[in-house]
Amino acid sequence: MRIIDHPILEFNRGEKVKFVFNGKELEGYKGETIAAALHATGIKVLGESVFKHRHRGFYCAIGNCSSCNMVVNGEPNVRTCITELQDGMIVETQHGKGVVNYEIR
Amino acid sequence: MKYVDLAVIGGGPAGLCSAISAASSGSKVLLIDRNKELGGQLVKQTHMFFGSEKQYASTRGINIAKILLHDLKAFDDKVEILTSATVLGIYEDGVISIDYDNEYIKVKPKAVLIATGASEKVLAFPNNDLSGIYGAGAVQTLMNVYGIKPGKKVLMVGAGNIGLIVSYQLMQAGVDVAAVVDAAPRIGGYLVHASKIRRMGVPILTGYTVKEAIGDNFLQKVVLCKLDSEWKPIEGSKIELDVDVICISVGLTPLTELIIQAGCEMKYVPELGGVVPVRDPYYQTTNKGIYVAGDVSGVEEASSAMVEGYLAGLYAAKSIGYEHEDFNELSQDYHVQLDALRSGTAGEKIRSGIRKIVREVI
């Protein structure tokens, strides 16, 4: 669902990168956000609500509403609407609040 | 600890303009933004602005961001930019703490100017959390920044300027707009925008609202209903539309977390979008040395956010000993511009809101 011709804008997409979403390999472009790359492949359900496990997509796209939080490279609660896609990223649906493993120094 | 003259939090239209204004007054500025790029929401606004030439009318938002960044560059020696940096807190001794690329840093500015903007409001209806129901601003980001369609067919909720403009932008991107609905009996945005989308065959249903959204994993259908003069649903007035996207454009609410945390006096002013800081005529909050500008102190258009930014930047710089050589002339001109932007019946709501939060200097 990428826009190819636009009357005003030109999209200079970066280099293609590969990433994994729930075990499935997908492609996106460097420079776009994780949520945008997922959306482009038709994946709209990004997370689920903590208690009732209702499916959630993104809402504000400015890193404010937490609707798009996912587990990225093992780190929970990553705001995928503002986090840039990197080659080889492992992106997973987050179940529950997520656990942060802090290294105590 | 890092010591600076003025810390500006937020690099959108208001923040950029206040940084330019303060730097041109001679103040050193630390401009902090949580995003990777400066420009705030201007970077997705492909429409041409209104207002007058001084607020870059007839220029597209995306290009206004470029102009402001160019203007800022002239003060390279005065302005330090910190992007991907989230301000965490403002303390009693004036210290602000920042998460900068997973590093914790502390800054002690002589004054702070908060220009954190606003965020999309939500609308309450059954299943309003289904995937496919997005803020209008989010859809703009997806389409205009990343070049991705939000879906196939959209219902726009809200016939204010953002709703009307984004509907047009959706069609520019090749997405169908099934209808625009607004619970109010009249179209809220400029009629020039409304006519444009009406001419393209999109119905604008005033006095309608969303009864419920239907879908399993994501939105598949929406049910609308008509409201009577007391905003109550009229029995049997249901309209069903097959849409996979609902854009919510029912206004914005100020992102005031930092201002509240700092302990500034706040007030609920619906005309300005929600809870906003009480301030004096010089954009200083009830906390000495904490200034505000733009949507965070009352949701308006980007044009007024820019002018407020220039003005608040002048005042904040003056308060720490950097008075612009043309201070009187400039500040007067900015006041005149703001009055013009808020004139007429369209500006009445904002004028009445501002009357409620501006108080005299104590």
Whether residues B132 and A81 touch (CB distance < 8 A) is answered with no
* Distance in angstroms (rounded) separating the CA atoms of residues A50 and A47: 9
Residue B362: inside a domain: no
* Residue A1: pLDDT over 90: no
Residue B307: inside a domain: yes
Last residue of a domain, one of B248, B282, B309: B248
Contacts of B142 in chain A (CB under 8 A): 36, 39, 61
Residue B94: inside a domain: yes
**Which residues in chain B (239-298) have CB-CB distances under 8 A to chain A?**
255
- Boundaries of domain holding B194: 122-248
Which has more pLDDT, A103 or B241?
B241
Residues B139-147, mean pLDDT to the nearest whole number: 94
Residue B126 shares a structural domain with residue B244: yes
Residues B334-351, mean pLDDT to the nearest whole number: 93
Report the pLDDT value the prediction gives residue B49, as an integer from 0 to 100: 86
Instruction: ipTM value, please give it.
Output: 0.92
* Residue B362: pLDDT over 60: no
**CA of B34, closest CA in chain A: separation in Å?**
9
Give the CATH number of the domain where residue B143 resides.
3.50.50.60
Report the pLDDT value the prediction gives residue B52, as an integer from 0 to 100: 81
Last residue of a domain, one of B233, B248, B263: B248
- Quote the tokens at residue B20: 């330019």
Alpha helix segments (H runs only) across B159-235:
161-172, 191-199
Which helix (DSSP H) or strand (DSSP E) does residue B341 occupy? helix B327-341
* Residue B129: pLDDT over 70: yes
Residue B125 CB partners (closer than 8 Å, separation 6+): B209, B210, B211, B212, B213
CB neighbour class for A2 (10 Å; exposed up to 12, middle 13-18, buried from 19) = middle
Residue B294 shares a structural domain with residue B345: yes
* Residue A105: pLDDT over 70: no
How confident is residue A92, by pLDDT bands cut at 50, 70 and 90? very high
Number of domains in chain B: 2
* Distance in angstroms (rounded) separating the CA atoms of residues B201 and B280: 47
Whether residues B148 and A1 touch (CB distance < 8 A) is answered with yes
B205 forms beta bridges with B181
Residue B150 CB partners (closer than 8 Å, separation 6+): A39, B134, B139, B142, B143, B170, B175, B245, B247
Global pTM? 0.92
How confident is residue B198, by pLDDT bands cut at 50, 70 and 90? very high
Which helix (DSSP H) or strand (DSSP E) does residue A71 occupy? strand A69-72
Q: List pLDDT tens digits, range A26-72.
A: 999 998 999 999 999 999 999 889 899 999 999 999 988 899 999 99
Report the pLDDT value the prediction gives residue B262, as an integer from 0 to 100: 97
Map out the domains of chain A with their CATH numbers. Answer: 16-92 (3.10.20.440)
Whether residues A82 and B35 touch (CB distance < 8 A) is answered with yes
Residue B97: inside a domain: yes
Report the pLDDT value the prediction gives residue B220, as an integer from 0 to 100: 97
Q: List pLDDT tens digits, range B46-71.
A: 888 887 888 888 899 999 999 999 99
